Structure 1
């Protein structure tokens, strides 16, 4: 991968477009079924193409090609207009596939020239973790809003620098926590917040997978910052915080890596960590890089249990509620609306740009996770609990919630 060039001072950019009047384009259809039958959601009614927020995608790896670019087909408010890659041949092919002009293709050396492309309003950074800070800062200096993949960065200092750069440039910064926009996980959150089954007492969360034995960047500490914890364990941490709205005030952790496994010479394999919350809730979380796929959580409340299995996959999520309203145990499985999680998060960012709102998962949300992960590593190293600052406000690091249509 070519070495990115240093940041340069940004030139003035065009004024942001005003929010379009979508009502004038809405199409309504008469019902096909009787009122007693299931009803369709109706046409998606996306914005006119020229009114959608233009995104530049930086990095053409697996996530971008398999998930993000296809997701734009489901977006109502966003469209891809530019690509940034170190592989010009691959980028040329992808640009043709998605109707992106050759003038919208950039290398890492010419990244800063995005400032001169008025079609680009948001830069979506999909690079190795160690590159998030640099490209966020350079992107903000180029006058663009930033949507950055998680983990936000490799250190608290980098996260703080990213937030400061975006604030200085007057640009929005959102971290791509897709779970917080996914309907079933949001339903689970609402059940928790409404105390549908009384007070929550405990949470169990697990996210592990058996990674390929290759020389991928995720096994290099300089690029990844860590192993399973910042990559997949972050889902357990962030989703638990999302469900409760609370912030943990203590962590206790243990780390183990299989001796002789080349994948774990630099980064950790398994992490088990406990989060203790001010309300008394204890969350037991586990993550790993060398065991069979498991992505689930369970919320144990006074009169019922909320389970998500799978909880963190890109599709096929399942929610189950267990309770005993009349003394008989009942299991309920709400229908999955099967909305594209990446389209939901991308559209939320686009709406925040058009309506000048703070993203629901801003840089401060990513910074808080980084602080907690550093405490988890500290706890495992010292083999003792680590205290965290008490945060009394609920959802202290979140912005404007997604709209109902999302």
Structure 2
């Protein structure tokens, strides 16, 4: 892999460097890290199945407001009933030596509270994204984990996905020349009654939930942090779903090098998650780019002017929940080897700040 020291430093800042190190870097104990899953919804199910396929992770506890549901999952994953907690008494896990870490799989506005409580209980934290609903909460989460001397990792599973890493490598190698612009989008038609359609739970609209994939991808693809933003929102469907949050968001980000990125997200229609990067020698893109499986990488570029086009069209054969297995094992390896995760709390905080900047550019008030 032909990466300069400067490029590698950029990857480190983006939380991706360790995933591009040679296979087998560092030594990992044979002990498996035990995870307590906080919240047993859809995303938690993917994580649970991912842990089953992992090498260094296991499920050792649950926190849920539904005891009967938690007991069913506990029986499925071999977790004793005395390792099931509710939201009021979960602090008792401080005495449970089988729980090394927690996976926070709750609505966005609950991430901060349960990350901080878990840290005070002495447990490492793997928290779903977006990290929180406010910049202040993200900062408090980082501070709490540092104070408790526990690790905080944000669940950016695509930081560990081979095709996304290959796209980064191709850009760093100069395969498509100097990057000029990036386009990206992601969205879906949200049904009525989803918690994400309330500002209290979601923090805002689709930018928090799916637009964050595009913002984060533009950062790791360029290896830069955006310097300026524009934003605009709209709501077309006045059917009661969007009384609190907007339906559509589009934005631009300008990077210090001059690279321009445009993004869109929506809760109003099925919008395949993709990115496309245009350089002076060609382009590369992924569509889908952010799904749990079936990711497709394409590229067209020439090595020298007049040479035949190099064409790439590959589909990653890995199936769900492999991305979650990679993510869990990275966190476990960091705990076992006392290393900083490649997507630490600071990575989530940066996205929170950029999301806030985009909304403010659009005239939308978010904290």
What TM-score do you get using the length of structure 2 for normalisation? 0.88
1:190-205 correspondence runs (5 A): 190-205=169-184
Q: Which residue of 2 aligns with 1:290?
A: 268
- The whole-number CA distance in structure 2 between the counterparts of 1:267 and 1:108 is 27
Matched, 1:302 2:280: yes
Q: 1:206 aligns with which of 176, 185, 192?
A: 185
Pair 1:256-2:238 in alignment: no
After superposition, residues 236-255 of structure 1 pair within 5 angstroms as 236-255=214-233
1:183–1:337 Cα contact (<8 Å) kept: no
Match of 1:273 among 251, 266, 275: 251
1:125 counterpart = 2:104: yes
Give, in whole Å, the separation in 1 of the partners of 2:229 and 2:67.
45
Q: Which has the higher contact order (CA 8 A, sep 6+)?
A: 2
Tell me how far apart the structure 2 counterparts of residues 278 and 117 of structure 1 sit (CA, whole Å).
48
CA contact (8 A) 1:47 1:76 kept: no
1:249 to partner: Cα distance: 0.3
User: Which protein is bigger by CA-based radius of gyration?
Assistant: 1
In the alignment, the residues of structure 1 paired with residue 317 and residue 221 of structure 2 have an alpha-carbon distance, to the nearest angstrom, of: 19
Distance in 1, matches of 2:171 and 2:328, equals 26
Query: Is 1:363 equivalent to 2:345 in the alignment?
Result: yes
* Equivalence for 1:170: 149
Deviations 1:347-406 (A, max 9, x none): 000000000011111011111101111110110018xxxxxxxxxxxxxxxxxxxxxxxx
Q: CA deviation at 1:156?
A: 0.6
Instruction: Give the 3 Å change call, closer, same or farther, for CA 47–357 of structure 1 in structure 2.
Output: closer
Establish whether residue 144 from structure 1 lines up as the match of residue 123 from structure 2: yes
In structure 2, the partner of 1:380 is 362
Once the two structures are TM-superposed, the CA of residue 245 in structure 1 deviates from its matched residue by 1.4
Correspondence for 1:53 among 33, 46, 52:
33
Kept in 1: contact 2:34–2:99 (CA 8 A): yes
8 Å CA contact retained: 1:274, 1:285 = yes
Give the secondary structure class of the aligned counterpart of 1:265. coil
Name the structure 2 match of 1:344. Answer: 326
Q: 1:331 aligned to 2:311? A: yes
Separation of aligned partners in 1, 2:64 and 2:137: 23
**1:256–1:271: 8 Å Cα contact kept in structure 2?**
yes
The answer on whether the counterparts of 1:206 and 1:295 sit within 8 Å (CA) in structure 2 is yes
Secondary structure, counterpart of 1:201 in structure 2: strand
Equivalent residue pairs, number: 334
Matched residue of 1:264: which SS?
Answer: coil
1:158 to 125, 137, 142: 137
Separation in 2, partners of 1:91, 1:198: 52
Q: How far apart, CA to CA, are the structure 2 residues paired with 1:356 and 1:134?
A: 25
Which ranges of structure 2 fall in alignment gaps of 5 or more residues? 1-22
Residue 243 of structure 1 and its aligned partner are, at CA, apart by 1.3
Unmatched 5+ stretches in structure 1: 1-40, 383-406
| Other-structure match for 1:62 | 42
Q: Deviations over 1:252-293 (max 9, x none)?
A: 010001252211110111000001000110001010011123
In structure 2, how many angstroms separate the alpha carbons of the residues matched to 1:292 and 1:136?
Answer: 32
Secondary structure (helix, strand or coil) at the match of 2:343 reads: coil
Shift of 1:139: 0.5
> How high is the TM-score relative to the length of structure 1?
0.80
Determine the C-alpha separation between the residues in 1 that align with 2:39 and 2:344: 21
Q: Is the 8 A contact 2:109 2:133 kept in 1?
A: yes
**SS of equivalent to 2:362:** helix
Is contact 1:147-1:349 (8 Å) kept?
yes
3-state DSSP of counterpart to 2:342: coil
8 Å Cα contact 1:84-1:107 kept in structure 2: yes
Offset at residue 334 of structure 1 (A): 3.8
